[in-house]
């Protein structure tokens, strides 16, 4: 028998809201990648629009957290949970922004009427997708193993980023690639790399929520 049933319910609802925001961000991210790989301009436009919803969701959850702090004066694991949620929604919101940014880049790239296939984009996008999914799952299940796994996976994304950089600079030296296109491509690669970093941050906050320790992996 527990006390503070209202409080317990509030916390459960908060977790749900976070997951819903996560799902929203993932959906938007997938749309972003999809539009990128299928050159779907309409989808790209849609993705940019949807980011507004993500921002609104972040504000809503932020308000909920503040209200809980005022009302319930949480301590211990409750306090850590609320703190972690406040931080995680920031990272999720940034991921959402980057998804929109990638769509913007597609629109610019399309205008250059150039196609230079870079093979690493797809694995990179998939890895990011997986990292975010895992981070959120580790939150749901309080799974420290999964959270740590996400942190490790960041290395793969960093490697892929290096690869793309080498490919593009090689193509520039050889004169095989349009200058604007090259820049836009690098920016997309950077956005993907940042998305992975945010996924890492989310996992770090999951670890904090469970253990009380905040491990800070420096962003390379």
- We find the least distance from the C-beta atom of residue 76 to another protein, in angstroms, to be 5
In the set 55, 152, 211, 217, which binds another protein (CB under 8 A)?
A: 211
- We find the least distance from the C-beta atom of residue 13 to another protein, in angstroms, to be 17
Nearest residue (CB) to another protein, 191 versus 208 = 208
Comparing C-alpha atoms, which of 73, 84, 16, 27 is closest to residue 50? 27
Nearest residue (CB) to another protein, 76 versus 145 = 76
- We find the least distance from the C-beta atom of residue 8 to another protein, in angstroms, to be 8
Nearest residue (CB) to another protein, 8 versus 39 = 8
Is there binding between residue 204 and another protein (CB under 8 A)? no
# residues contacting another protein (CB under 8 A): 16
Binding to another protein in span 55-114, by CB under 8 A: 73-80
Nearest residue (CB) to another protein, 77 versus 141 = 77
Q: Pick the stretch among 3-11, 132-140, 149-157, 170-178 that binds another protein (CB under 8 A).
A: 3-11
Nearest residue (CB) to another protein, 30 versus 83 = 83
Per residue, the 3-state secondary structure of the chain, as one string, reads CCCCHHHHHHHHHHHHHHHHHHHHHHHHHHHHHHHHHHCCHHHHHHHHHHHHHHHHHHHHHHHHHHHHHHHHCCCHHHHHHHHHHHHHHHHHHHHHHHHHHHHHHHHHHHHCCCCCCCCCHHHHHHHHHHHHHHHHHHHHHCCHHHHHHHHHHHHHHHHHHHHHHHHHHHHHHHCCCCHHHHHHHHHHHHHHHHHHHHHHHHHHHHHHHHHCCCCCCCCC
Which residues contact another protein (rule: CB under 8 A)? 1-4, 7-8, 73-80, 211-212
């Amino acid at each position: 028998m527990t006390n503070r049933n209202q409080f317990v319910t509030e916390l459960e609802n908060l977790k749900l809201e976070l997951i819903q925001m996560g799902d929203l961000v993932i959906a938007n991210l997938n749309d972003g990648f999809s539009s990128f790989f299928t050159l779907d301009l309409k989808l790209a436009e849609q993705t940019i629009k949807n980011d507004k919803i993500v921002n609104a969701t972040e504000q809503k959850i932020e308000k909920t957290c503040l209200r809980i702090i005022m009302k319930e004066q949480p301590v211990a694991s409750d306090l850590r949970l609320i703190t972690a949620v406040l931080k995680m929604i920031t990272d999720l919101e940034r991921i959402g922004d980057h998804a929109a940014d990638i769509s913007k880049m597609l629109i610019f790239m399309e205008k250059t009427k150039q196609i230079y296939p870079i093979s690493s984009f797809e694995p990179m996008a998939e890895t990011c997708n997986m990292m975010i999914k895992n981070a959120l799952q580790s939150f749901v299940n309080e799974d420290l193993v999964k959270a740590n796994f996400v942190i490790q996976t960041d290395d793969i994304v960093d490697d892929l980023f290096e690869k793309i950089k080498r490919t593009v600079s090689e193509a520039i030296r050889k004169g095989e690639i349009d200058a604007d296109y090259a820049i836009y491509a690098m920016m997309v690669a950077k956005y993907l790399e940042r998305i992975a970093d945010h996924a890492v941050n989310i996992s770090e906050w999951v670890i904090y929520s469970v253990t009380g320790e905040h491990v800070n992996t420096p962003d390379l």
